[in-house]
Structure 1
Amino acid sequence: MTLDISVSEESPIDAACDALVVGAYTSEEGPDLTGRGRTIDEAMEGRLGRHLEATGFKAKAGEVVLVPTLEAAPAAPVVAVAGLGLEAEAQTSTVRRAAAACARSLGHAAVVGSTLHSGGPEGSAAAAAEGFLLGAYRFTTHKTSPGENSLSQVLFLNAQADEVARGVAYGSATTLARDLVNEPPSLLTPEVLAARAVEIASSNGYASKVWDVDALGHDGFEGILSVGRGSAHPPRFIRLDYEPPEPKAKVALIGKGVTFDSGGLSLKDARNMETMKTDMSGAAAVLGAMSALTGLQPQVHVVALIPATENMPGGDAVKPGDVIKHYGGTTSEVLNTDAEGRLILADALSYASEQGVDAIVDVATLTGAIMVALGGKCTGLFSNDDSLAQELQTASEKEGERNWRMPLFDDYASELESDVADIKHIGGRWGGSILAALFLQKFVGKNIPWAHLDIAGTARSDTASDETPKGGTGAATRTLLAWIEGRR
């Protein structure tokens, strides 16, 4: 079920809804209701405040309590009070989290009226719209009995329509990315991913191009071809262009699109293979972001590039010891076929470097090493340009998507020296995420600002909480959108 979000001019007292959402801040005296919340409390003759006090509600960020109105004003039968933490520390991220928590708590309500945006920090309406969409997300496409979740509409009471629309665009882009990540690999092959990308392009009026095996061979994309050789499903290389009439900048987004990663001949064990349908999460983030650009209309030409393939151990699979000649001519020595993502990204980076772009950002579930370094709730950010890195950090902070800048130590690159090719594609045991980024940097054109987002830890979650569902998270989608909008 798609959640409809719209703006209503009804007052919170009179709004025709099944539940009304108000916010509250933490204070030493107890929960401090927002202005709209105090209005509701007055209409309830103080019963709302007394209920919060009696139940020990602290208004911590993400905390929600449901209070029945008992047929008194307001018109809604239930008031949901969402904790926003300390008012002095109010951020859009806490509003987003509160909205998501409400979406999870109010699955029984068909129509919800929200005042969470009222009196909050700048951007609260957009953040709340994102939060409701993210918290309400469920992937039930293949369930014969999806389960009960009645929430179908959220009314933003007296909110700025354009701000709500921006939040809907960001939230919908993320849910699209999640849908792609959660699809079974039998149904989302490289060919199908390419078809989905072309659908997004067609529905938004973008130009698109897809390279099949023959075209990949003709144009020299041997990295993509080599990884795809072991699969019955041939690889694809996908390009989409969002190009406004008078762009002020031109950027490239690259998303790793390994639709299933068995490890190839360097085969993973069964346990580590279970989640490898999510190895195309970078591609999903890029496609999710592209789906929102028509509505947001940034004055930036965005070139989206997705190398799409499976990594399987077929009879013609790439072997440890093989040498690949990538797009652009650089050769790499393959030593472990389970480090396949960098091989296909190398082709895409070389191609992007020829497109006259001002910056390149790639997104990939690239290394398990980044999870060792940063855990499962923080993306690794690598960049050859301080300004670009700061732009991405600002964008991710705005969207509540945590990242941490990692180093690109030049002397580490000696581990990638090869006796038989220009570069080895893996190094030693330690610093694996840094070595992978250094390998990618080899294929970035001279003087082109580039950043690499390693989302191996953040692309999926084993548990659901607030904005984050179990399964695909859509990580980096909103960061990409905020970064692009910052370049208008």
Structure 2
Amino acid sequence: MALARSPTSLESGMKYKFETAALSKIKSDVIVVGVFQGEDLGNVIAGIDQSLANGSGNFAASIVEAASHESFQGKLSQVVSLPTYDNLACKKLVLVGLGNSKDFKPGVSRKIAANMARRFSNSTMTSLCFVGRFAQETEHEDSTKKRKKSQPAAKAALEKASASEKGSDREAETAHHLKALVEGWNLGRYSFEKYKSQKDEKKNKTELTLSFAGVKETKLASKACSVGDTIAAATNLARGLIAEPASYMTPTKLAEEAKRIAKEYDLSCKVLDAPQIEKLGMGAFLGVAKGADEPAKFIVLKYDAEKSKKTVAIIGKGITFDSGGLSLKPAAGMEHMKYDMSGAAAVLGAMQVVGDLKPNVSVLGLIAATENMPGNNALHPGDVLISMNGKTIEVNNTDAEGRLVLADALTYASRQNVDEMIDLATLTGAVVTALGRVAAGIMGSNQELVDKLIAAGKDAGENLWQLPLYDEYKDSLKSDIADLKNAGSRGEAASSSAAMFLKEFVDGKPWAHLDIAGPGWLDKDRDECNKGGTAFGVRTICQYILNYA
């Protein structure tokens, strides 16, 4: 009999372990079993633990009957919760639909784990077990094993190599699912209750052990759990920064958070104040900051890999509150404009992961942080600013401030010997009109970089959709009195023209721009994404760095 192993603690405080006992013997408050659409549920249960289908009681048949009464068919995210009546060592058995087996990817595991976490967020349970359905052999593979003895030696050797490769592929796929499950669970448990006078003492306070049955404990599997936890913890950190009121989460507070991360994860950090920013010639950035009483900060975080393959710059828009300036926004919904520093929060979250996991890629994290306010010294429509790279900008809309602060940040990055640049910003309302709240717009000067980021986003569960950067969009940025206007023709390709403006400041470097205004804020919970500021982009950037490190 296999000895029980002690659970391993994760950064989030959650513990995990790999369960070796049969389903009927697993001691857990809740066991979650995934079922594909159209599967024979009785065969699924018997396949996991044959003892449940034996004897006069035939508990598997009872499960099938109960599920049938609930019209459970294994459709994606369909859930049935069943008591076990002491037939299992666990208290509750939950069947969850995995949908079509052909569409079963780690993203499904992430969503299921997040929804399970919310389902049990007010529970006092201390343990939950996921039964892995992603590493099982197919009938074809099983029959191949049985034929091996009658095959010639050379052919058997080829079959053995093929089986080894399939085993390796299966182990890697299992690891992807484990990472997604841990991510999803931690993302689904997130809540921000700092300012509530009456907090839910039960919610997510109980120490939890998450276990995985039907999965072998390997270095790859353990690492996958750890990485998933690290990325989820950083995403939740960024969510917390976005959730804070603007009166608290000022540019100064963002800088303090950057310093804390740098100290804890052995990164270098410097914070430039207004005189230093002015000395660098960042006239576009300081132009936005003029109307605010809160002092502007330019934050520079750096991770230097020992054997660096390249240096990636990630740049975040850090407008800690956007009133629109003198081009004042409507009052309705303005309270949400604290989320205009979501790009900055994503950079801080990503840098925490980089500092923790220490990839073979050097990463430069930059944040241009200020408020956009209509103060006594505020930027006027019609003013002309001189940017860091010397280009002059006529400001025809003070509410198009994000591109102004990013312009100088991109110029700064381009002069730091980086190999590629990625900026994240809640830049335009137009991208919300175009793509809604389910995808960010991506544009850039280098198609290979754009493609890799889209692929990383797909792996991470964050959708990116490429929008065009036609040269003609630059025509709308022509100014009669300066090199550029900061805003193009109203109502015409606003997201693309904003990106075209940014392109003027990348100095020919491979560059990609993520306009995260849509999925960066949700009005209700959706799978692993929370209501409010979602910290969109943390997972994509981390996955990109890990994929190509």
Pairing 1:84–2:138 present? no
Q: Distance in 2 between matches of 1:225 and 1:445?
A: 21
The equivalent residue for 1:52 is: 67
Q: Judging changes above 3 Å, is the alpha-carbon distance between structure 1 residues 272 and 36 closer, same or farther for their aligned structure 2 residues?
A: farther
5 Å matches for 1:328-477?
Answer: 328-429=389-490, 430-446=492-508, 448-477=509-538
The counterpart of 1:18, out of the listed 29, 32, 39, is 29
Letter in 1 for 2:85: L
Pairing 1:199–2:260 present? yes
Please tell me whether the aligned partners of residues 36 and 75 of structure 2 are also in contact (alpha carbons under 8 angstroms). yes
What is the SS of the residue equivalent to 2:329? coil
Q: Distance in 2 between matches of 1:262 and 1:67?
A: 51
5 Å matches for 1:241-390?
Answer: 241-390=302-451
The equivalent residue for 2:224 is: 163
Q: Distance in 1 between matches of 2:529 and 2:79?
A: 16
TM-score, normalised relative to structure 1: 0.95
Q: Distance in 2 between matches of 1:252 and 1:35?
A: 52
The counterpart of 1:236, out of the listed 269, 279, 297, is 297
- For each residue in 1:314-344, what CA deviation from the matched residue of structure 2 results, as whole angstroms up to 9, or x when unmatched? 0001111111111121111111111110000
Letter in 2 for 1:440: L
What is the SS of the residue equivalent to 1:256? strand
Pairing 1:99–2:113 present? yes
- For each residue in 1:50-96, what CA deviation from the matched residue of structure 2 results, as whole angstroms up to 9, or x when unmatched? 322221112222232211112221x2201122221111221111111
Q: Judging changes above 3 Å, is the alpha-carbon distance between structure 1 residues 32 and 230 closer, same or farther for their aligned structure 2 residues?
A: farther
The equivalent residue for 2:188 is: 135
Letter in 1 for 2:208: Q
5 Å matches for 1:139-218?
Answer: 139-147=192-200, 148-150=202-204, 152-157=207-212, 158=215, 159=217, 160-218=221-279
Pairing 1:63–2:78 present? yes
Q: Distance in 2 between matches of 1:385 and 1:362?
A: 13
Letter in 2 for 1:23: G
Q: Judging changes above 3 Å, is the alpha-carbon distance between structure 1 residues 364 and 67 closer, same or farther for their aligned structure 2 residues?
A: same
Q: Distance in 1 between matches of 2:285 and 2:235?
A: 26
Please tell me whether the aligned partners of residues 5 and 129 of structure 1 are also in contact (alpha carbons under 8 angstroms). no
Bigger helix fraction: 2
CA drift at 1:31: 8.8
Q: Judging changes above 3 Å, is the alpha-carbon distance between structure 1 residues 65 and 320 closer, same or farther for their aligned structure 2 residues?
A: same
Q: Judging changes above 3 Å, is the alpha-carbon distance between structure 1 residues 33 and 276 closer, same or farther for their aligned structure 2 residues?
A: farther
Q: Judging changes above 3 Å, is the alpha-carbon distance between structure 1 residues 36 and 259 closer, same or farther for their aligned structure 2 residues?
A: farther
Q: Distance in 1 between matches of 2:457 and 2:42?
A: 30
Please tell me whether the aligned partners of residues 382 and 437 of structure 1 are also in contact (alpha carbons under 8 angstroms). yes
Q: Judging changes above 3 Å, is the alpha-carbon distance between structure 1 residues 32 and 5 closer, same or farther for their aligned structure 2 residues?
A: farther
Q: Distance in 1 between matches of 2:249 and 2:222?
A: 36
Q: Distance in 1 between matches of 2:378 and 2:507?
A: 29
Q: Distance in 1 between matches of 2:77 and 2:319?
A: 35
What is the SS of the residue equivalent to 1:22? strand
Q: Work out which of the two has the higher radius of gyration on C-alpha atoms and give 1 or 2.
A: 2
- For each residue in 1:5-61, what CA deviation from the matched residue of structure 2 results, as whole angstroms up to 9, or x when unmatched? 422445254444321222111116569747875569549721333322221112222
Give the alignment's Cα RMSD to 1 decimal: 2.0
Which runs of 5 or more structure 1 residues have no equivalent in the other structure? none
Q: Judging changes above 3 Å, is the alpha-carbon distance between structure 1 residues 64 and 360 closer, same or farther for their aligned structure 2 residues?
A: same
- For each residue in 1:279-331, what CA deviation from the matched residue of structure 2 results, as whole angstroms up to 9, or x when unmatched? 01111111111111233221000000000011111000111111111112111
Choose 35-44 or 386-395, whichever is displaced more: 35-44
Choose 260-269 or 292-301, whichever is displaced more: 292-301
The equivalent residue for 2:543 is: 482
Please tell me whether the aligned partners of residues 317 and 344 of structure 2 are also in contact (alpha carbons under 8 angstroms). yes
The equivalent residue for 2:163 is: none
Please tell me whether the aligned partners of residues 21 and 80 of structure 1 are also in contact (alpha carbons under 8 angstroms). yes
Q: Judging changes above 3 Å, is the alpha-carbon distance between structure 1 residues 33 and 259 closer, same or farther for their aligned structure 2 residues?
A: farther
Q: Distance in 1 between matches of 2:429 and 2:46?
A: 47
Q: Judging changes above 3 Å, is the alpha-carbon distance between structure 1 residues 29 and 77 closer, same or farther for their aligned structure 2 residues?
A: closer
Q: Distance in 2 between matches of 1:243 and 1:386?
A: 26
The counterpart of 2:288, out of the listed 210, 227, 234, is 227
CA drift at 1:109: 4.1
What is the SS of the residue equivalent to 2:333? helix
Choose 111-120 or 285-294, whichever is displaced more: 111-120
Q: Distance in 2 between matches of 1:276 and 1:30?
A: 49
Q: Judging changes above 3 Å, is the alpha-carbon distance between structure 1 residues 320 and 116 closer, same or farther for their aligned structure 2 residues?
A: farther
Please tell me whether the aligned partners of residues 365 and 456 of structure 1 are also in contact (alpha carbons under 8 angstroms). yes
The equivalent residue for 2:167 is: none
Letter in 1 for 2:31: L
TM-score, normalised relative to structure 2: 0.85
CA drift at 1:132: 0.3
- For each residue in 1:237-269, what CA deviation from the matched residue of structure 2 results, as whole angstroms up to 9, or x when unmatched? 001011121111111000111110011111111
Pairing 1:6–2:20 present? no
Q: Distance in 1 between matches of 2:378 and 2:48?
A: 62
- For each residue in 1:360-394, what CA deviation from the matched residue of structure 2 results, as whole angstroms up to 9, or x when unmatched? 00000000000111111110000111101110011
